[in-house]
Amino acid sequence: LSGSVTMAADREERRFAEVSRDSVKLMAESAGLELGDEVAALLAEDVCYRLREAAQSSAQFMRHAKRKKLTVDDFNKALRWSNVEAICGYGAQDAMLFRSVKEGELFFVEDRDINLIELALATNIPKGCAETMVRGMFTLLSSVVAPCSVPAAVQSLSDDLLKYYQQITRAILGEDPHLMKVALQDLQSNSKIAALLPYFVYVISGVKSVSHDLEQLNRLLHMVKSLVQNPYLYLGSYVRSLVSSVMYCILEPLAASINPLNDHWTLRDYAALLLSHIFWTHGDLVSGLYRQILLSLQKVLSDPVRPLCSHYGAVVGLHALGWKAVERVLFPHLPAYWANLQAVLDDYSVSNAQVKADGHKVYGAILVAVERLLKMKALSLPQPAEGCSSSQPGCLAGPMGYRVSSPGLSPPPEPLAEAGLGIASHLQAGGAGCQWEEWSPVPLPAMYSELYSFFGDSLAVRFSTEQSFGGFSPCTPSHFRETRKEPLGHVSNPDTTRKMPQLTANLNISPRQDGSPRTDPPPPSLAATGSVRSLARSSMQRSRASSSRSGQRSIGLSRDVFPKARFTSPHSGPPTFSFVIGGRQMGRRCQGRRPFQTIFVPTPPPPVVLPRVYTHKLPVIGRVCKPLRRWTRSHYSLHLPL
C-alpha cells in the first residue's frame, strides 16, 4: 500500500464528512505526538472509513429500534459489537452544540462544567416522567362494528390532566365570563391536551341535555370553536362528533326556542358559522362529511313536520356552507317548501302570529341565501361577452378574473371586504372540491326567473340586459324570455324604476322616505363593508350590461347589506332586515303578499307538492306556544307596520 496514497487534498468529490489531515495532526499533538504528513493523511482516511462503517452499522440499530433518528446509543452499540470501546457521556437526547472559533478555525462540542455538588444537593428533585401506558382508541369505526366488547381503554387520565379537565370544564360552563374567556383561550392554544380530546368531545356532545339553556349551548359552541382552532389537536374522527353537536344546535327545535324571548336565532346563526368553519378547516378528516351534512340539512328542510326554527337552521346552515350548497339543496327544494311557507305567511289569524313571525325569519334567511347564490353564480360565470352558454358553478377564477379583465369599470376591489366575509371566501375556494354527482346545475337565468317568481322584487340581485341573458341561456324557452321583457325593459329605462321597484337603491331608500318606523339601521361598519363589496358587484353586473346606468351605482349599494349584516356579525341584531324591507315595500304597494309572487303571469308555477296537505300541518307546530306579549315587541313582529 505504498505509492498509491492519495492525499486527502483531492476534495472535489467529497461525498462524506471527512476528518482532515490537520485535525488528525492536531489530535496527535494534543496527545503529545508528532505525525508526519503522510501518516496523518493515512490515518485521516482510515478514521473516515471506520467512522462511516460504524455509522452504517449503527443505522441498523436505529432501524430495529423503529426510530428515524440515530442516537448516540445506536452508535455505541455498533462500536460495542465491533469490539471498540463505547463513547461515554454523550447520551443526551438533545442535539449537541457544535461551536466554532473563527480565529483558529476550530470546531468543538461545547462541554460545560457541571457542578455535581449543586446537582447532588439540589432540593428540587425533578419528577420522573409519567408512567408508560397503553391506551386504546378507535382510528376507524366502520359501519360494521364487531358485536364483541371492544377492549376498553386501559389507562385513564393522569392526575394533572384530570385536574386540568375539571378546571376547564368548570370555567367554561360556570358563571364567570372572564374565567370562561381564559379557559377558552387556553383550550385554543394548549398543545398538551390531546389526551383530553375525547373527554371534551363528550362534554360537547352533552348539548342535548342542555337544550333548554341557551347560555350553556352557547358556551359549548365556543368550546367547539376553541378545540377546532387549536393547532395542536388532531381531531380525527372526532370531527364527526363535533359536527353532530353543532348540527344539533342548528337544526333541533331546542327547548329554549319555545320561549320567544330566547334569541335562539343567534345561536343557530353562530352554530352555522361554526359548522362552516369546522368544515372548511377539518372537513378533510372525515370523508363524505360534506355530503353527509348536506343530506341531513336537506332532510330537515324537506320535512314539513319540523318546526320553522329547524327550517331556519337548515337554511342558515346551507348558507354558511356556501352558495354551492344552497344551489344544490335549497334551490331544488324551494318550490316545494315555498308552498308551505306561503301558507304560514298567509295565515293572518292571531293564533298564527308566532308561527308567522318564525316564517318571516325563514323567509328572510332564504332570501339572503338565494341572493348570494345568484350573485356568486353570476360571478362564477365566465365573461358574458363570449356568450358562454354553460354556467360553470365551479368556476373559481370567476370573480378574480373578471376584476382583472375590467379594471376600469369597477372600483378597485377592497380585499378586506372580501376577507371580512370569511365564509364566502372559503366557500369559493373549497366549494369546487365537493361536487355532488347526481346534481345538475340549473342555468343562471332559469334560476333567476324561478327565484324571482318566488321573491319578486325582494330579490336584490338583478340581471339587467336581455343580451346577457340570451347569452347565458340559449336554451331558455322563448316564452320565458318574453316574460323577462318586462323587468328588463324597466331596467333599461331609468324612469320606470319607481314603478317596478327592482333597483336596489330605491328599495333601500324608499322605506326611509316614507318614514316607516324602522328602528334598526344596520351598523355603519357593516354597511361600509357591504357597500364596498356591493359596489364592486353591482358595477360588475352593470358593466356586463349596458353601461349607461352609472348614475345608480352610488345608490345601489346598501341593499346588499343583508347578507353580510347577518353573517359577519350574527350578534348585532335580529337578522331580519331583509324581510322587513321587502315586506314593507310590498305591503305598501299592494295589500297582502300577492305581489311577491305575481307580476309575471306565465311564470312557471312552482311544482305543487301537496301544498295544502302541509299547510294545515305547519301552523300546528308553531302554535305550541305563542304568547301575545310578542305583539308588543315591534322588533319581532315584522308584519305590524304593513
Partner 1 sequence: MNFKKAGLDSCPLTLGSTDQSEGSILRSRWFPFFNFAHAQFIFKMAAVQGGMVDAKDELDIKSEPPSDGFGNSNANDGRLLSSSPGAGTGGTATGNNKPAPGPPEEQQTLLAVLQFLKKSKLAESAEILRREAGLPEDALDPKGTDASGSGPGLAAGSGQVDGVDASSLLSRVTVSSSAAAQAPKKAAAGEDQPDVSVVLSAYSQQGDPSLYDAYYSGLKRFIESVLDCHRAELSQLFYPLFVHMYLELVYNNNESVAKAFFEKFSGDQECYYEQDLRILSSLTKKEHMKGNETLLDFRTSKFVLRISRDSYQLLKRHLQERQNNQIWNIIQEHLYIDIFDGMPRSKSQIDAMSGSLAGEARREANKAKVFYGLLKEPEIELPLDDEDEEAENEEGKPKKKKPKKDSMGSKSKKQDPNAPLQTRIPLPELKDSDKLDKIMYMKESTKRIRLGSDNLPSICFYTFLNAYQGLTAVDVTDDSSLIAGGFADSTVRVWSVTPKKLRKVKSAADLNLIDKESDDVLERIMDEKTASELKILYGHSGPVYGISFSPDRNYLLSSSEDGTIRLWSLQTFTCLVGYKGHNYPVWDTQFSPYGYYFVSGGHDRVARLWATDHYQPLRIFAGHLADITCTRFHPNSNYVATGSSDRTIRLWDVLNGNCVRIFTGHKGPIHALAFSPNGKFLASGATDGRVLLWDIGHGLMVGELKGHTDTIYSLRFSRDGEILASGSMDNTVRLWDAMKAFDDLETDDFTAATGHIHLQDNSQELLLGTYMTKSTPVLHLHFTRRNLLLAAGAYNP
Answer for the pair 555, 497: CB distance below 8 angstroms, yes or no: no
- Is residue 150 classed as helix, strand or coil in its secondary structure? coil
C-alpha of 297 from chain center: 17
State the Cα–Cα distance between residues 89 and 96, nearest whole angstrom.
11
Residue number, 151 or 515, with CB nearest to partner 1: 151
Residue number, 30 or 142, with CB nearest to partner 1: 142
Residue number, 61 or 280, with CB nearest to partner 1: 61
Is 130 near partner 1 (CB under 8 A)? yes
Residue in 87, 122, 133, 475 binding partner 1, rule: CB under 8 A? 133
Is 162 near partner 1 (CB under 8 A)? no
In whole angstroms, the minimum distance from the beta carbon of 224 to partner 1 comes to 20
Q: What are phi and psi of 70, to 5 degrees?
A: -80, 130
State the Cα–Cα distance between residues 395 and 382, nearest whole angstrom.
8
Radius of gyration for the alpha carbons in the chain, expressed in angstroms and rounded: 35
E strands, 305-457, in order: none
In whole angstroms, the minimum distance from the beta carbon of 48 to partner 1 comes to 8
Residue number, 17 or 628, with CB nearest to partner 1: 17
Of 292, 317, 336, residue with least CA distance to 436: 292
For the chain, give the number of residues.
642
Residue number, 31 or 117, with CB nearest to partner 1: 31
Is 107 near partner 1 (CB under 8 A)? no
In whole angstroms, the minimum distance from the beta carbon of 84 to partner 1 comes to 5
Residue in 37, 67, 185, 494 binding partner 1, rule: CB under 8 A? 67
Is 92 near partner 1 (CB under 8 A)? no
In whole angstroms, the minimum distance from the beta carbon of 66 to partner 1 comes to 6
Residue in 21, 25, 77, 264 binding partner 1, rule: CB under 8 A? 77
Is 94 near partner 1 (CB under 8 A)? no
Is 13 near partner 1 (CB under 8 A)? yes
Is 147 near partner 1 (CB under 8 A)? yes
State the Cα–Cα distance between residues 359 and 634, nearest whole angstrom.
16
Residue number, 124 or 139, with CB nearest to partner 1: 139
Residue span binding partner 1 (CB under 8 A) among the ranges 64-72, 165-173, 299-307, 552-560: 64-72
Q: Which residue has the cell 320561549?
A: 259
Is 61 near partner 1 (CB under 8 A)? yes
State the Cα–Cα distance between residues 470 and 468, nearest whole angstrom.
5
Answer for the pair 565, 530: CB distance below 8 angstroms, yes or no: yes
Is 138 near partner 1 (CB under 8 A)? yes
In whole angstroms, the minimum distance from the beta carbon of 149 to partner 1 comes to 8
State the Cα–Cα distance between residues 99 and 92, nearest whole angstrom.
17
State the Cα–Cα distance between residues 473 and 445, nearest whole angstrom.
6
In whole angstroms, the minimum distance from the beta carbon of 71 to partner 1 comes to 9
Please give the helix or strand (H or E) that residue 462 lies within, else none. none
In whole angstroms, the minimum distance from the beta carbon of 221 to partner 1 comes to 25
Residue in 195, 388, 432, 609 binding partner 1, rule: CB under 8 A? 195
Residue span binding partner 1 (CB under 8 A) among the ranges 9-17, 250-258, 611-619, 634-642: 9-17
Strands 106-109 and 98-101: antiparallel
Distance linking the first and last C-alpha atoms of the chain: 108
DSSP state of 5: -
State the Cα–Cα distance between residues 207 and 216, nearest whole angstrom.
8
Alpha helices in 476-523 (DSSP H): 478-492, 504-513
Residue in 96, 141, 590, 642 binding partner 1, rule: CB under 8 A? 141
- Count of Cβ atoms closer than 10 Å to residue 160 Cβ: 10
Residues lying near partner 1 in the complex (CB under 8 A) are found at: 1, 3-6, 13, 15-16, 45-46, 48-50, 52-54, 56-57, 60-61, 63-68, 73, 77, 79, 81-84, 129-148, 150-152, 154-155, 194-195, 234, 236
